C-alpha cells in the first residue's frame, strides 16, 4: 500500500509546474500543508532530477509571486525515499488574513483556499471579509459603530455594584471602552446595553438532526451578562439527573457535565466574532452543540488551543467577564472539556468552532428525551406555583410579581410567598435592589 495519499494538508506533484503557486496560496489561506514534488497522484515515488532549478523556481514564487510576502510561513527541504530525491514545500497557516497570486490580485482567480484535496476559488464576499480584516485589529468590535445611538446600561451598573465596583457616570463609558474614536457607541456597548438588536437563540430538535424543531427560545436583545445568566439557567434546567437510591451513598448521573458545558458557553461568548453574528446553541436528542464564529484567533494554532493558551479575540469583553467572576484568565476551560470528553468534541474550521457535548447514555435510556423539561431534582419539594415561577424566570429575569401573578393566574400575594420560599430553598436570588434588580435562578 502506498504511503503517500493526498489529503486536505498534503498535495502530491509528479513534477514542478507553475500551478504550484496556486496551491501554496490555498494552503496559506487554509490551515497549512505540505506539497511533495516527485510523487505521482497514486503515491508512486519517481523523484526530482533538476533539483537546483526547481528550488530556484520555488524561491521565486515565494519571494515575488505571492502577496503578502509569505517567506516566514514557508520552508523547503529535500527528502529521500526509495533512492530518489523528493522536494517538500512545508507551508504554515498564513499569519495574514488573506493571500493571493500577484498576477491575479485579490480576485477569485487569485485567492484560493484548500478544501479537501482540491483548490477552490474564494467568493467575492469571502475575499471582502478577509481583506477588510487586514486593516483592523482583533478588537474590531471597539471600532464598529452600534446600530443604536441611544443606549442605557442600568443592568451593567447593577452587576458591577453587586461585585463591589462603583461605575462613575462620567467615566465608566471611557473606562470600559464603550465608545469608538468618533465618540459613538460601539458594538461592545451594544452587547452590554439594556436593550439591543442582538438575538441569542436556543433551539431544541426532536431527533438527531435539524429536520424537526420542538422548541425555539430567544434569550437575547439585552445585556450579554443577563443573556449568559438566562442561558446558564436554561441549561441547568435541561440537565436531567438520574439518582440510584438502591446504594449508599446514592449516586447521581447527569445528562451532561455542566461545568464543561458552562466553559463551552463562556468561550463561545467571549471568543465569538460578533461582527459576523451571535453564537448558536442547539440541543438534539443525543447531544448539545455550541457554535461560535470566527475560528481560532489570528496566530493561534490548534495545539495552543487544546493546551489552554488563552488568546481572547475580544480582550475588553473578556476583562468584563473576569470582573464579574464569570470566567478566569487561566486557560483551563478547553483542557477541562478535553479531559472529560476528548479533543474530538471540537470541530475547528477557519470561520467557526463547534463544540459537541454528547449526552450520558444511561440517562438517555431512562428518559423520554422529547419530554425533557426542568431538572427533575429542581422539581422536588416544589409546589405548582413555584415550578411555574422558575419556568418564567428562566425566560425573563426582569418579570415583576404582578406580571407573574397574571401569567400564572394567582394573586400577587401568592407570588410573593413563592419568592420567599424559593429564596429560603436557595433556588433563586435577587440581583440588585428591590426596585431595580432582577430575580435569577441559581440552582
Strands (E), 294-367: 346-348, 352-358
pLDDT more than 90, % of the chain: 41
Residue carrying C-alpha cell 458594538:
187
pLDDT above 60 for 17: yes
Give mean pLDDT, residues 146-166: 90
pLDDT of residue 94: 87
Mean pLDDT of all residues in the chain? 85
pLDDT more than 70, % of the chain: 89
Bridge pairing between strands 201-205 and 280-283? parallel
- HSE-CB for 66 with a 13 A CA cutoff: 31
Beta bridge partners, 7, equal 10
Query: pLDDT-derived band of residue 437, with 50, 70 and 90 as boundaries?
Result: low
Q: What is the DSSP letter of 206?
A: S
CA terminus-to-terminus distance, the chain: 57
Q: Can you tell me the distance from the alpha carbon of 190 to that of 31, in angstroms, rounded to the nearest whole number?
A: 33
* pLDDT greater at residue 37 or residue 363: 37
Residue carrying C-alpha cell 484535496:
117
Least confident of 107-116, 136-145, 343-352, 367-376: 367-376
Q: Can you tell me the distance from the alpha carbon of 392 to that of 402, in angstroms, rounded to the nearest whole number?
A: 13
- Coil, strand or helix: which one is 424? helix
pLDDT of residue 378: 46
- Cβ proximity of 215 and 180 under 8 Å: no
Q: Can you tell me the distance from the alpha carbon of 77 to that of 190, in angstroms, rounded to the nearest whole number?
A: 51
- pLDDT tens digit sequence for 286-302: 999 999 998 887 778 88
- pLDDT tens digit sequence for 57-104: 999 999 999 998 999 899 999 999 989 999 999 999 888 888 999 999
Which helix (H) or strand (E) is 439 found in, with range?
strand 438-441
0.75 exceeded by pTM: no
Indicate if the alpha-carbon torsion angle 131, 277, 329, 177 is positive or negative. Answer: positive
Amino acid at each position: 500500500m502506498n504511503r503517500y495519499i493526498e489529503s486536505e494538508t498534503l498535495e502530491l506533484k509528479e513534477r514542478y509546474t507553475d500551478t504550484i503557486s496556486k496551491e501554496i496560496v490555498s494552503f496559506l489561506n487554509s490551515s497549512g500543508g505540505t506539497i511533495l514534488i516527485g510523487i505521482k497522484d497514486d503515491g508512486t515515488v519517481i523523484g526530482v532530477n533538476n533539483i537546483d532549478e526547481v528550488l530556484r523556481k520555488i524561491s521565486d514564487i515565494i519571494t515575488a509571486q505571492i502577496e503578502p510576502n509569505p517567506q516566514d510561513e514557508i520552508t523547503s527541504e529535500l527528502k529521500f525515499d526509495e533512492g530518489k530525491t523528493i522536494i517538500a514545500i512545508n507551508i504554515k497557516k498564513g499569519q495574514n488574513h488573506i493571500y493571493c497570486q500577484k498576477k491575479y490580485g485579490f480576485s477569485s482567480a487569485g485567492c484560493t483556499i484548500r478544501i479537501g484535496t482540491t483548490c477552490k476559488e474564494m467568493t467575492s464576499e469571502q475575499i471582502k471579509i478577509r481583506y477588510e480584516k487586514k486593516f483592523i485589529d482583533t478588537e474590531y468590535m471597539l471600532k464598529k459603530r452600534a446600530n443604536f445611538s441611544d443606549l442605557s446600561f442600568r443592568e451593567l451598573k447593577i452587576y458591577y455594584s453587586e461585585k463591589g465596583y462603583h461605575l462613575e457616570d462620567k467615566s465608566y463609558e471611557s473606562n470600559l471602552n464603550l465608545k469608538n474614536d468618533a465618540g459613538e457607541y460601539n458594538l461592545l456597548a451594544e452587547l452590554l446595553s439594556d436593550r439591543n438588536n442582538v438575538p441569542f437563540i436556543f433551539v431544541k430538535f426532536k431527533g438527531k438532526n435539524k429536520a424537526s424543531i420542538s422548541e425555539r427560545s430567544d434569550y437575547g436583545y439585552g445585556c450579554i451578562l443577563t443573556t449568559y445568566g438566562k442561558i446558564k439557567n436554561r441549561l441547568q434546567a435541561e440537565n436531567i439527573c438520574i439518582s440510584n437510591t438502591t446504594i449508599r451513598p446514592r449516586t447521581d448521573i447527569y445528562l451532561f457535565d455542566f461545568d464543561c458545558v458552562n466553559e463551552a458557553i463562556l468561550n463561545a461568548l467571549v471568543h465569538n466574532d460578533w461582527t459576523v453574528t451571535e453564537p448558536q446553541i442547539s440541543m438534539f436528542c443525543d447531544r448539545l452543540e455550541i457554535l461560535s464564529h470566527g475560528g481560532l484567533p489570528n496566530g493561534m494554532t490548534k495545539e495552543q488551543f487544546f493546551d489552554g493558551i488563552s488568546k481572547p479575540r475580544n480582550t475588553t469583553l473578556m476583562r468584563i467577564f473576569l470582573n464579574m467572576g464569570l470566567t478566569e484568565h487561566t486557560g483551563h476551560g478547553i483542557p477541562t472539556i478535553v479531559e472529560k470528553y476528548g479533543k474530538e468534541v471540537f470541530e475547528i474550521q477557519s470561520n467557526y468552532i463547534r463544540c459537541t457535548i454528547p449526552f450520558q447514555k444511561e440517562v438517555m435510556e431512562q428518559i423520554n428525551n422529547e419530554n425533557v423539561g426542568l431538572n427533575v431534582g429542581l422539581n422536588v419539594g416544589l409546589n405548582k406555583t413555584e415550578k411555574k415561577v422558575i419556568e418564567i424566570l428562566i425566560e425573563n429575569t426582569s418579570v415583576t410579581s404582578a406580571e407573574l401573578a397574571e401569567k400564572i393566574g394567582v394573586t400577587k400575594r401568592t407570588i410573593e410567598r413563592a419568592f420567599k420560599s424559593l429564596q429560603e430553598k436557595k433556588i433563586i436570588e435577587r440581583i440588585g435592589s428591590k426596585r431595580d434588580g432582577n430575580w435569577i435562578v441559581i440552582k
